[in-house]
Chain A
């Protein structure tokens, strides 16, 4: 924390208070501005209280070198106070010094990659994959060296922790391009992950650093929950005991993350509705794979509790989004919406259906039917009829309640 922030000057305090009350778009704009600063210092401290809001808003962040380097390992990064040497995670405080060390060691090649990400964001997955192809294997070689960089001292974690972390990070980054390629080969989930590809990645990880094996399985299950079935099949080969043990550790870690306060709720409540639906799908797939593995009763109880929280989180997100982002804006329309307004309303309606389609697999079917029915009725109400054309009404009703309801709205002869 900077001196000015620590001394708590009244002006700074007032500004912090204002920031805390800023609207979501204002927060996004402020953070984007601070992110763009080369020397962030005090500005970084000022936005520190907004970090939780950022988690919920998930704005695209600038593709800085450190973010690019650790992109494939992001699911393993935890706040420093929550990290322990025997945990299968990476403390956030390790990110900056390790990235600085890699950047310095790569010299011109690192600078070229850094420049390649400049002006871009972490939403650009193709660019990340392309730059990562060069960066991750090179970083893996650098981090395999035993020398502790000077920059490490700021972490106050000690040399042993560096060697342990650098070793596992090195092993994981070496396989990051292969993991990326395997995920890409599923073509957005159209194809199942190839068992041979998974076996090869895990085999190489095990040969390089067996401590990294559960971490790689954690990454694998986070990105491709459907890989759980393949992992189960792999547990019959020569490496069976090692893969079995690592899989157990990985699933424990993933389950622990879901079990902590807000572990499920944050993932459902943050990002777009599509992000939320994706999280529901992934969590449900993970829970499904854990349930099938002849789990003991204690594990089943854990899974049941997580599933209940998932159900509750979905209903809450659905209900609040329906009210705040669809029905309220509809009610506030003063005249026929323009193309952008109508597109925004349709996006929300579609997002609600995507979330509902995934969420009702967990439960709450009656609730969703009821809420969707009410929303469709609200759109057909005389108050909304004055603000929407029949075609626009029919579009929203079709998305929310299906084509039969929309055809009924369009009148006789439409069905």
Chain B
């Protein structure tokens, strides 16, 4: 490793989500917790946590990654695909990662999981679009029959939906086709959230559930298990994960509020489209990077591997940028803006050499477990 070749940015306290970058599911052990962000010079660049666990990050473009580690084929393909993206956001990085996994670069299990996720995402988008449309119909015609599932779609419902959109279009003074496009775009954007009030099948509610279950499992393990410094670290991670889950749940609820007034949401779309899209991505932005933290725990099957997992979890726990404090309708805990703690190591033997093969395999398992 040639640390002198790449300057370490000592005080990396990102102000915005854009400068923080998007968590990417790299499988190379030394790229754990690395994020991808836009770069004016090279298109995209990586924000890599200091491998020692100490303060600071490396900002590297792809050729510079070679100075830190030897990336896997999966990561090379992922970076290449991300380089071609027009926008760097959680949705586009997720789609790129699923495509790379589908090609088999993280193994057969990850490919099968990616296929399932892609199909689930597609269904969820269709459902969200359908439910938003039905929401408009029900608001315009409150006495009509309610629909909550794609299976309930009929030609008669489609006719009623078209009539309702035309009615709202006339009221707002926009073409019906523009509103239909807006509903489709919002269906896509809000699909990870789940448009139905009690939707637990969408990705974000499932992720929140995973964080809550994982933090509960960690708390249970800590109450029966170690009574040493590792227990102290475990409690810090558990508290941070619980807080992320709770904040995520509150934000999910707040994000779903406009769904109670679909016509109002359409009006917002017409007047402040960028703002609506930005709101749809808040939950993803808030929880970006947390899935890996939970998966590290869930993939550990014995006490010894759980202890080791805690050391891996700490440096990849997401730190929120200050921009999150400006969000209305949600109180972000101030602690989420700071690292939970730091655990430094003097060497990387635990993830280099012979150890790296097992870690790459484990990281591929995390891809297969990903939502």
B104 interface hit (Cβ, 8 Å) = yes
Instruction: Name the residue of chain B whose CB is nearest to the CB of A342.
Output: B108
Known A181-B228, A353-B357; further 17 A-B contacts with Cβ < 8 A: A126-B303, A185-B226, A187-B311, A190-B308, A190-B350, A274-B358, A281-B354, A339-B108, A343-B107, A346-B107, A354-B357, A358-B353, A391-B104, A392-B104, A395-B107, A403-B73, A410-B73
What chain A residues lie within 8 Å of B350 (beta carbons)? Answer: 188-190
A188 CB contact (under 8 Å) in B72, B104, B108, B308: B308
What chain A residues lie within 8 Å of B70 (beta carbons)? Answer: 402-403
Q: Which of B294-308 contact A (CB under 8 A)?
A: 302-305, 307-308
Residues of A whose CB lies within 8 Å of any CB of B are 125-126, 129, 181, 184-185, 187-190, 274, 277, 281, 339, 342-343, 346, 350, 353-355, 357-358, 389, 391-392, 394-395, 398-399, 402-403, 406-407, 410, 414
Which of A129, A184, A343 has its CB near the most chain B CB atoms (within 10 A)?
Answer: A184
B76 interface hit (Cβ, 8 Å) = yes
Contact A389–B104 (Cβ < 8 Å) = yes
Q: CA A406 – CA B353 in complex, angstroms?
A: 19
Residues of B whose CB lies within 8 Å of any CB of A are 70-73, 76-77, 103-105, 107-109, 112, 226, 228, 230, 302-305, 307-308, 310-311, 345, 350, 353-354, 357-358, 361
Q: How far is the CB of A82 from chain B (nearest CB, A)?
A: 32
Q: A126-B302, A398-B72, A403-B71 are in contact. Are A350 and B345 (CB under 8 A)?
A: no
Q: CA A32 – CA B109 in complex, angstroms?
A: 30
What chain A residues lie within 8 Å of B303 (beta carbons)? Answer: 125-126, 129, 184
> 30 A–B contact pairs at CB < 8 A?
A125-B302, A125-B304, A126-B303, A184-B307, A185-B228, A185-B307, A187-B308, A188-B304, A188-B307, A190-B307, A190-B311, A190-B345, A274-B358, A277-B354, A339-B109, A343-B109, A350-B357, A350-B361, A354-B357, A354-B358, A357-B357, A358-B353, A391-B105, A394-B73, A395-B104, A398-B72, A402-B70, A403-B71, A407-B76, A414-B77
Q: CA A129 – CA B306 in complex, angstroms?
A: 15
Instruction: Name the residue of chain A whose CB is nearest to the CB of B108.
Output: A339
Q: A391-B103, A392-B104, A403-B72 are in contact. Are A354 and B304 (CB under 8 A)?
A: no
Q: CA A277 – CA B357 in complex, angstroms?
A: 12
Contact B226–A407 (Cβ < 8 Å) = no
Contact B357–A187 (Cβ < 8 Å) = no
Contact A187–B104 (Cβ < 8 Å) = no
What chain B residues lie within 8 Å of A342 (beta carbons)? Answer: 108
Q: How far is the CB of B318 from chain A (nearest CB, A)?
A: 22
Q: CA A274 – CA B357 in complex, angstroms?
A: 11
Q: CA A184 – CA B306 in complex, angstroms?
A: 10
9 closest cross-chain pairs (CB), A and B? A391-B104, A357-B354, A187-B307, A188-B308, A339-B108, A187-B308, A354-B354, A350-B357, A406-B73
Q: CA A350 – CA B307 in complex, angstroms?
A: 24
Contact B354–A353 (Cβ < 8 Å) = yes
Q: CA A126 – CA B301 in complex, angstroms?
A: 10
Q: How far is the CB of B214 from chain A (nearest CB, A)?
A: 18
Instruction: Name the residue of chain B whose CB is nearest to the CB of A391.
Output: B104
Instruction: Name the residue of chain A whose CB is nearest to the CB of B361.
Output: A350
What chain A residues lie within 8 Å of B107 (beta carbons)? Answer: 343, 346, 395
What chain A residues lie within 8 Å of B226 (beta carbons)? Answer: 184-185
Q: A187-B307, A189-B350 are in contact. Are A399 and B108 (CB under 8 A)?
A: no
Q: How far is the CB of A133 from chain B (nearest CB, A)?
A: 11
Instruction: Name the residue of chain A whose CB is nearest to the CB of B306.
Output: A187
Q: CA A392 – CA B104 in complex, angstroms?
A: 8
What chain A residues lie within 8 Å of B103 (beta carbons)? Answer: 391
What chain B residues lie within 8 Å of A189 (beta carbons)? Answer: 350
Q: How far is the CB of B314 from chain A (nearest CB, A)?
A: 12
Q: CA A189 – CA B308 in complex, angstroms?
A: 8
What chain B residues lie within 8 Å of A190 (beta carbons)? Answer: 307-308, 311, 345, 350
Q: How far is the CB of B352 from chain A (nearest CB, A)?
A: 9
What chain B residues lie within 8 Å of A389 (beta carbons)? Answer: 104
Q: How far is the CB of A310 from chain B (nearest CB, A)?
A: 15
What chain B residues lie within 8 Å of A407 (beta carbons)? Answer: 73, 76
Q: CA A386 – CA B224 in complex, angstroms?
A: 53
What chain B residues lie within 8 Å of A277 (beta carbons)? Answer: 354
What chain A residues lie within 8 Å of B345 (beta carbons)? Answer: 190
Q: CA A129 – CA B224 in complex, angstroms?
A: 13
Q: How far is the CB of B69 from chain A (nearest CB, A)?
A: 10
What chain B residues lie within 8 Å of A399 (beta carbons)? Answer: 357
Instruction: Name the residue of chain B whose CB is nearest to the CB of A406.
Output: B73
Q: CA A358 – CA B305 in complex, angstroms?
A: 21
What chain B residues lie within 8 Å of A402 (beta carbons)? Answer: 70
What chain A residues lie within 8 Å of B228 (beta carbons)? Answer: 181, 185
Q: CA A391 – CA B112 in complex, angstroms?
A: 14
Q: CA A350 – CA B303 in complex, angstroms?
A: 24
Q: How far is the CB of A229 from chain B (nearest CB, A)?
A: 14
What chain A residues lie within 8 Å of B307 (beta carbons)? Answer: 184-185, 187-188, 190
Q: CA A354 – CA B356 in complex, angstroms?
A: 9
Contact A398–B73 (Cβ < 8 Å) = yes
What chain B residues lie within 8 Å of A181 (beta carbons)? Answer: 228
Q: CA A187 – CA B234 in complex, angstroms?
A: 13
Instruction: Name the residue of chain B whose CB is nearest to the CB of A409.
Output: B73
Contact A188–B354 (Cβ < 8 Å) = no
Q: CA A181 – CA B231 in complex, angstroms?
A: 13
